[in-house]
Amino acid sequence: MIALTTLLAPFTMPLTPIATLQEIPGTTLPLTWFLIMSLVLFTVGVLTVITRRNTVYILMGVELMLNAASLNFIAFSRYRGEAALLDGTVISTFIIVLAAAEAAVGLAIILNIFGLFGSIRPEDPNLMRE
């Protein structure tokens, strides 16, 4: 556990210099937990993208990465107090909409690929090589 906190030090450190940060009454979860969660999400997303040999999974991995960022925004706006409360919500809403749009475009292209190549493995379409 100690090793983990050392690893996460950069993500917990910025809390100290920012003086305006304040505890909101009623919250019980420390910010760090959100950050760990977001980092885990992001890592899982990256790993999915790297290891999965299926384009749909890759898109899912990207979604995870976007969600990690979204979580970051929400967590920080929440902990920044009333003034910034809306920021995170607005941002994450936009991100969700965008992620959906991206998925739609991605899936449309994948569908087309499937029709033409009969496969959705990312390495299968490789007509262009020098």
Partner 1 sequence: MADYFRDLIAIGPELILCGTLLVVLLVDLWRAGRDRASVWWIALIVTFVSCLAMVQIGSLYHQAEAKVDGMALLPEFLALASVYTLVTVCESYYRGRDDWLLGTIVLIGTALAGYRLWDLGVDVFSGLDQETAYWGALIEGDGLAIFLRALGLFTLFFCALFAIFYKPFLKGINRNGVMEWLLCLIGATLGGMFLVQTTNLLFLFLALEMMSLCSYLQAGMLKGDRRSAEAGLKYVLYGSMASAFMLFGFSLLYAFTGELNFPAIREILIGLSADGAIGDAEGLLLWVAILGSLTGFAYKISAVPFHFWTPDVYEGSPTPTTAFLAAGSKAFSFGILIRFVVLLGDVGYGARILELLAWVAALTMTYGNLAALRQSNLKRLFAYSSIAHAGYMLMGIVALFVITKDTTSGQLTAGSLNVDGAKAVLFYLLAYAIMNLGAFGVLIFLANRTGSEEIADIHGMGWKAPMVGGTMIVFLLSLTGVPPTAGFFGKYYLFVAAIQSGYGWLVVVAGLNTVISLVYYFRIAKALFLRGEEEAFVEIQGGKVFSLALLFLALLTIYFGIFAGGATELLQEVGTSLQSR
Among 1, 2, 10, 25, binds partner 1 (CB under 8 A): 10
CB of 10 to partner 1, least distance (A): 4
Among 36, 37, 44, 84, binds partner 1 (CB under 8 A): 84
Contact criterion met (CB below 8 Å) for 55 and 113: yes
Q: Does the protein bind partner 1 through residue 52 (CB under 8 A)?
A: no
Long-range contacts of 100-106 (CB under 8 A, 24+ apart): 102/59, 102/62, 103/59, 103/63, 106/55, 106/59
User: Residue 2 or residue 9: which is nearer to partner 1 going by CB?
Assistant: 9
Nearer to partner 1, 36 or 113 (CB): 113
Whether 11 contacts 35, CB under 8 Å = yes
What DSSP string describes 4-55?
A: HHHHHHHHHGGGTT-TT--PPTT--S-HHHHHHHHHHHHHHHHHHHHH--SH
Which residues are at the interface with partner 1 (CB under 8 A)? 9-11, 13-14, 17-18, 20, 38, 42, 45, 49, 55, 58-59, 62, 65-66, 68-70, 72-73, 76-77, 80, 84, 87, 90-91, 94-95, 98, 101-102, 105-106, 108-110, 112-113, 116-117, 122, 125-128, 130
